[in-house]
Amino acid sequence: MREHLVLTPDDAAAWLQRQRLAGRSAAILSTCNRFEIYWSGGDDLEPWFREFAGARGIDLGTVLTRLDGAAAARHLFSVAAGLDSQILGETEILGQVRRAHQTAHTAGTSTRQLDASFCAAIAAGRRVRRETALGKHPASVSSAAVEVALDALPQGNSATAVVLGAGEVADGVMRALVERGVTRVTLVNRRAERASALASKWMVRTGAWEDFRALVACADLLFVTTGAKHHIVRATDLADTTAARASELVVLDLAVPRNVEPSARKLPGVRLFNLDDLQQLRCPAAGQPSIAVAEAERILAEELARLEESLRARAAAPQLAELHRLGSELAREEADRALASLDRLSDLERQVVREMAERLVRRVLYPVSRNLRVDDERTA
């Protein structure tokens, strides 16, 4: 289902452009483990979502979750904090939430309410990682994949690895491999310049795309991380390259849609893991509740309360502006009434009376205005 719902960056930008032209507020968060639409205002985008999924052969009746108001904000906070991820506390999701907000902001489909919610969620996610144990040992899908792969090999960090792709996930895999002491790594990508840049960053080798099969034949690990919408590693390719091997080839397919043909799992010389396997093997939620999770949820509750207070303050701002206008009008009326009975005052004295009336109004309204500004700045 996730494979059928994937939107490329260009697809997402085009959809947001249509929402902007229709005057709607919306943001899309599409990752390897989720497809979520956030919107604010009077428009309901759920019918579109159902139609979109139906056109791709998916019945959302059993998989669609809808949250409104505070519940939607609470979910976004949990996502940004990594509490709703395949890998508890994983770091990559925070950047994905930030990019989803930036994309909507650039497209002109993010209102002040949506901006406030995303900015507050990102700030809360940072605070969770800064103040709890979830940030002391940061995890990611990439690092979990490397752990699973090395656990499956008897030779551990002396293994030979091939990484296919040169995007964000590949970068994470390279980092995790280097941190685990794996030095025999080759990076392969269709665009040689991108492969060269990433390989230089981590001081590993690059391989030509046309040499991919030969490189895999000599490797112990294969990480597939491209953004292709189809299978680029066929079962027959792996069967040919592993036919003469004495040891297994461990393959990690970290792409959505999957880049490795699922039937490769049946090959005798191949151990294939995908993202669903990764979740089952490395999901801390299966264990006992964590102190770090409890601390994170306390932080999220505090930040949510702050956001709700700020949104209430913003909703009251127009009424406050009208109150200030009426206060100024009342000050003028009362000053005029007082001055009408004081006909022997000089121009300076009359001005003093008018300024006194205006100051009284400002002093009464200032504490309310100040509190609203402080709340607004906390989530800016």
Which residues are tagged catalytic?
Answer: 32
∠ CA 126-132-136, nearest 5°, is 85
Report d(CA 56, CA 359) in Å as an integer: 64
Cα end-to-end distance, the chain, whole Å = 36
Q: Which residues contact 189 (CB under 8 A, 6 or more apart)?
A: 164, 165, 166, 170, 195, 198, 206, 209, 226
The whole-angstrom separation of Cα 365 and Cα 305 is: 24
From CA 92, how far away is CA 141, in angstroms rounded?
Answer: 8
> What's the Rg (C-alpha) of the chain?
29
Amino acid at 333: E
Beta bridge pairs of residue 233: 260
> What is the rounded CA–CA span in Å between residue 150 and residue 31?
25
Task: Classify the C-alpha dihedral 144-149-154-156 as positive or negative.
Answer: negative
Give the closest residue to 101 by CA, choosing from 25, 170, 168, 172.
25
How far is it, in rounded angstroms, from Cα 205 to Cα 190?
15
DSSP state of 290: P
